[in-house]
Amino acid sequence: MWRQAGVSLRPQTEADLPFVEELVIAVREDEPGFRHLLPDERVRLLKEQHQLQWSHYRKVFPAAHFLLILADGQPVGRFYLDHAADHLRVIELSILPDYQGHGIGRRLMETIQAEAARRRHPVRLSVVNGNPVERFYAALGFVRDGLNGSHLRMRWSADARG
């Protein structure tokens, strides 16, 4: 388990799904596709999105590590990782808005980058095209690596660092 400055990771369990659902609502409710909806409709659609996303992640990444991010023992986010034979994939990194901007995501990503460099593997991830989080990943050295439908593929490699 990774631990630094009161932040740790632990495997997500079925009992954590209500928190994860609330996390999805908290981080996505102001997205352009949802913000114009009435609150009840927005919450209903985001709950459906969470259920579909969770099923998709388990199907596509059956061996992934589905981890909760804890700050002083309380869940504040999720960090889903897949260790493929030739790369590490960040499937999901979501942190409650009140905990964003405090370095939690940066420390987690730097830890994964160090592990990838040790293995001599790239790190891959996808973000919705146009999502401002692209700047966060770019600041960590990720570069655009193509489009996949509405998602921008990004890649980081220790060999590409300047």
What mean pLDDT value characterizes the chain? Answer: 88
Beta-bridge mates of residue 126: 153
What is the pLDDT at residue 3? 42
When pLDDT is cut at 50, 70 and 90, the band that residue 12 belongs to is very high
Is residue 60 within 8 Å of 4, Cβ to Cβ?
A: no
Domain CATH number, residue 14: 3.40.630.30
Q: What is the mean pLDDT of residues 16-27?
A: 90
Angle, alpha carbons 90-56-82 (nearest 5°): 25
Q: Is the pLDDT of residue 98 over 50?
A: yes
Q: Is the pLDDT of residue 1 over 60?
A: no
Is residue 15 within 8 Å of 72, Cβ to Cβ?
A: no
Virtual CA dihedral for 120, 123, 124, 127, nearest 10 degrees? -170
Closest C-alpha to 77, from 112, 129, 27, 138: 27
- Give alpha helix (H) positions in the chain: 17-28, 32-35, 39-60, 104-119, 133-139
What is the pLDDT at residue 162? 39
Residue type, 20: V
Of residues 28 and 61, which shows the higher confidence score? 61
Range of the domain at 31: 3-160
Per the structure, the count of domains in the chain is 1
Least confident segment among 2-6, 63-67, 73-77, 115-119: 2-6
What is the pLDDT at residue 160? 62
Q: What is the mean pLDDT of residues 107-121?
A: 95
